[in-house]
Amino acid sequence: MDTPLTDVEDLVEQLTLEEKVSLLSGADGWHTQNIVRLGIGSIKATDGPAGARGELSVGGQTAALLPAPVLQAATWSKECVKALGRILSSEAQSKSADILLAPTICCMRNPLGGRNFESFSEDPVLSGKLGIEYVAGVQESGKVAATAKHYVANEQEYHRFSVSAELEETALREIYLRPFEMFVKSDHPPHCLMTAYNRVNLEHMDMHETLVKRVLREEWGYQGLVMSDWGGTNSTVQSVLAGCDLEMPGPPLRRGSKLLAELTSSQDSELRRAIDESCTRLLALAKRSGKIGLNAIDTENSRHRPEATCTSRDDLATLRRIAGFGTVLLKNDRQALPLDPASLHGKNIAFIGQNAVKGASNGGGSAAINPQYLSQPLDSFCTALSDEGINATVRSALGCRTDKWLPLLSKTTWRVAPETDDLLMVEFFSSIDCTGPIIEQQLRQSSNVDLFDSGPASLRDSGKPYSLRLTSTLIPAMSGTHSFGLSSVGNAKLYINDDLLLDNTHWKGLSETFYAFGSPESRVSVAMQAGQSYTVRVESWSKAGNEENSDSSDNADSMHVYGAQPSVRLGFLEEEKSTILEAVELAKSSDLVVVIIGLSEEWESEGYDRQTMDLPGKQDELVSSLLDSVELRERIIVVNQSGSPVHMPWQEKAPTILQAWYGGQEAGNTLADVLLGYTSPNGRLPMTWPRSYSDLPFAKDPATWPGIDGVVKYREGVKVGYRWFHDTETEPQWWFGYGLSYTTFSHTILSISTLRDKWIATVRVTNTRYVAAEELVQVYVWPSQQPSLKSLAAFERTCLIRPGDEEVLKVEIQLRDIANWVDGGWHLSEGSYAVACAKHAGDRDMSVQYVTIAHATL
């Protein structure tokens, strides 16, 4: 190889047409193409928003599982989010990754949105300001590029590959584009941006010339790399002309040979110029990532560099601190929290609910990772008491199950063989009936066998149908009627001791497994004896091998990258006797009852939306049964784990409610810290919490959610979240920005200074009670005569303030953040404006001052 060039422009000139085209599509699931002769190495990407996963979707290298982005946003802390960004950068580097596919900054439009948990907020200012710090933390080392996604109006999963979000430019500019604009125009813009799957006003985002080329590139001046979402490139030429630089993943579906043929046949000068511009942006990223030059090329390892995980003790302490900091205290009517550890000595304590023993740490889909470890609520609480020398009796009751699908297999009862630690054996065949030579054999640690990026490369990349056989041995821990669940992408059959029990060959209908490309779960129950060995086998083959079900999912294109491999999920559950009555009886005999309810990665995930705000299973019945006793009610602390609001019909009876979100691998430890007062829950809601779904505009208008005939209409315009509740004069359960503390504060605006493009509010914050804590200052602005137009303008956090002490903060209000999009530009009308320091968006006891605008430069 000749000495490689390092100047990007010179490199582009040296590229052949074939090489240029090759750079504009991925090489595989996570890498770009390399070009050895010019010293251009491969760039590697990794998911995601709460941890750097590495190159395997399931069962790969362990990684630090961070608090979910919605919890990050609940801190309302720029410092916290930036610190998490730094940890993500280190973790991405440990996976030899150059691009982190995060953050997600789409605004939460509807509480049922499947990916709300991996977004920040319903409010564009909160999303944008926190996201800027996230990106700054990720990119601070100069070794990892952050990716702002999904551009734009990607607020639902239903029909996500094709649905057209129809909205007026005012709402588009003021709500949905605004966080992206804040990112791009910040001091540290993200080096990458990902286009959304959906269409906006009928045009797919990867080829949306108005929003990508004109707004993002020309108006905002974005110079970074724009890539498609995975499988989200919808054209060969238009996406290139619009300014979408990279089709992901590879091998190419829309570009590659198709783009090369288009070039050679048309000799289109505009297309050639666009290709050169895209190559320039990709190579600029490669240079920034150290992937250009002699040292960047290793033909054997450039796409298979080693992966590890690398968190320090301080990093883990940061995760634990921030997860607690973002926990929101929703009710504390009897001042039950914080608990006094000493008062628990000799007491009987009950932990009730499925999430009490095995807590919910994260949402699903691309956010899912293989965590370094998990801390669980019950275990962490017992450990904390033990560390304090507190001798208490802690017992648990399930109450009710909340699974959407049967649990994945556990090594306690499943093994490939007694002498191994492997859960499953997977054998691959080039035939569609598990015959012929075995192409490859794999040992797996999870019965969620997702082959998007882990099947044999020779079969995965061939585009031809193939088959696989899973085998394992089950030794039940107890006798009973046990249940098996099977879902698959393609066809599958389940055998036990060679007897066919489930035939999932001709499945049809909409499903939610495997990013909504898999079948519904088929179930069967079998009488089994404890201690007896049962041989379990699953055979599966590509859907392309059987055309009967190739169009089985209304939400999936069978040729999409997530639907091309014959993946399988096998679940198993031993017969259980637990009941709500058992949980109530345990509670009655306990001095303290901690009820942990909520959702999980099965209910909140990429690929599908929730169907209801109700808690799954019989959780409402469980909580109501516990709260129906007035005497018992006083001992109950309710903890909810979810990434979005849930309906709480029993909340008026519950004196104490904590919103714990998804705390990552420190979720259990964090909850123990908060309950026992080691950490103060300083979180505030980053979204408005409705009393009922019927209070929202979507409840009676399916055209607004989830849409009709492939179109979803954003008829509420800019009235998103708290803006809707103000406009309709509806009282939510809890307002955006709401959250209690273990102390109380008073806020006073002392003065407001007006500058050319901003105001500076001087705010005094006083701790009026007896616990030292930090406080959040939220500043809202509205035209004086139009209080329904109140919107968040700025926010800052204080330092730790001791009881009786005060702190004076300077809070900057950028006029652009309170402006409106009118007639193709940003305007701030002349007149009087109210500036308020509030506890939340619905606060009526605010410190307010007024500012008159004669002229504003925006």
What is the sign, positive or negative, of the torsion defined by CA atoms of 642, 646, 650, 656? Answer: positive
Among candidate residues 98, 123, 206, 229, the one labeled active-site is: 229
- The Cα–Cα gap between 652 and 627 comes to 10
Q: How crowded is residue 834: how many other Cβ atoms within 10 Å of its Cβ? A: 19
- The Cα–Cα gap between 89 and 719 comes to 36
**Amino acid (1-letter code) at residue 242:** A
Strand order in the sheet with 99-100: 45-46, 99-100, 145-151, 192-195, 225-228
Kindly give, in sequence order, each residue whose CB lies less than 8 Å from that of residue 288, ignoring residues fewer than 6 positions away.
Answer: 142, 145, 191
In 3D space, the residue among 463, 539, 466, 462 whose CA is nearest the CA of residue 496 turns out to be: 539
Token output for 674: 């908060």
Give the residue carrying structure tokens 């010019």.
38
Token output for 805: 């002490």
**Amino acid (1-letter code) at residue 46:** T
**Secondary structure of residue 99 in the 3-state scheme:** strand
- The Cα–Cα gap between 89 and 222 comes to 22
- The Cα–Cα gap between 18 and 258 comes to 11
- The Cα–Cα gap between 701 and 435 comes to 52
Tell me how far CA of residue 338 lies from CA of 583, 741, 742, 744, in angstroms. Answer: 24, 10, 7, 14
Note whether 131 and 183 are within 8 A (CB). Answer: yes
Token output for 294: 């002699």
Strand order in the sheet with 592-598: 328-332, 656-659, 636-641, 592-598, 348-352, 393-397
- Displacement of CA 532 from its chain's centroid (Å): 41
Q: Verify whether residue 206 is a known catalytic residue.
A: no
Phi, psi of 235 (to 5 degrees): -155, 165
480, containing H or E segment: strand 480-488
Tell me how far CA of residue 790 lies from CA of 111, 683, 750, 755, 816, in angstroms. Answer: 21, 22, 20, 21, 15
So which residues are the catalytic ones? Answer: 229
